[in-house]
Amino acid sequence: MRITQYYIRTFRPHFCAALTRLFYAGKNVHFGTGFRCDSIPRIMIDRGATLKIGSQVELRRNVEIRVHQNSKIEIGSNVRIDRGVRLLTTNKAELHLEEGVRVGLYSVFNGGDSIHVGAKSLISGFVYLQTSMHGFKDRSLNVQNQGYDHAPIKLGKDCWLGTHVVILPGVELGQGVVVGSNAVVTKSTENYKVIGGIPAKVLKERT
């Protein structure tokens, strides 16, 4: 039992991290000290893009990171990203997870425009941050042929997004905002509000 625990908690994360560093060396990817991962993440990065991973970052299994065109992803120190999370940027977008952020199972960050998540924020499982929306107004064209509209998303420090939350383009959440599970957030919200519903509305203020 102790050998199994040692393998799962200590040996495998450091061994997979060493392989990850070796595999992605020289591909615009920068790793800080103390990096750990439960499996080798799938990293796709274009020549003009940059991925920077801070110190003491931990990735669980099956994390996918895609950095396209001239975009940038920066993961701050002491960030933990759970299984199956997908981080994607393209165009000239920047995705920044500040120090101490936690990201839950199978959440998706879709960065056609920039995404900024403040320090110590908590993103629960199955959350979707969506900065791009298909055009759809021209009925003579298929939706998939009408291109995209983009707008950034910004979360202040100490935000908490409950499970299955969706954040739509252009939303800015102030410091300490709490979003209830299954909410669809379409408008920006001031500091320390608790919001929920579809579309999300202010329910109360944190005391």
- Give the DSSP per-residue string, 112-135: SS-EEE-TT-EE-TT-EEE-EEE-
Residue-level pLDDT at 144: 87
CATH number of 2-205: 2.160.10.10
Distances (CA, A) of 56 to 10, 37, 162: 13, 10, 25
Query: What is the rounded average pLDDT for all residues in the chain?
Result: 94
CA distance 78 to 73: 15
Report the pLDDT averaged over residues 70-96. Answer: 97
Residue-level pLDDT at 27: 74
107-138 confidence digits (pLDDT tens)? 999 999 999 999 999 999 999 999 998 888 88
| pTM (global) more than 0.85 | yes
24-57 confidence digits (pLDDT tens)? 987 799 999 999 999 999 999 999 999 999 999 9
Q: In sequence order, what are the beta bridge partners of 89?
A: 67, 111
Confidence of residue 195 (pLDDT cuts 50, 70, 90): very high
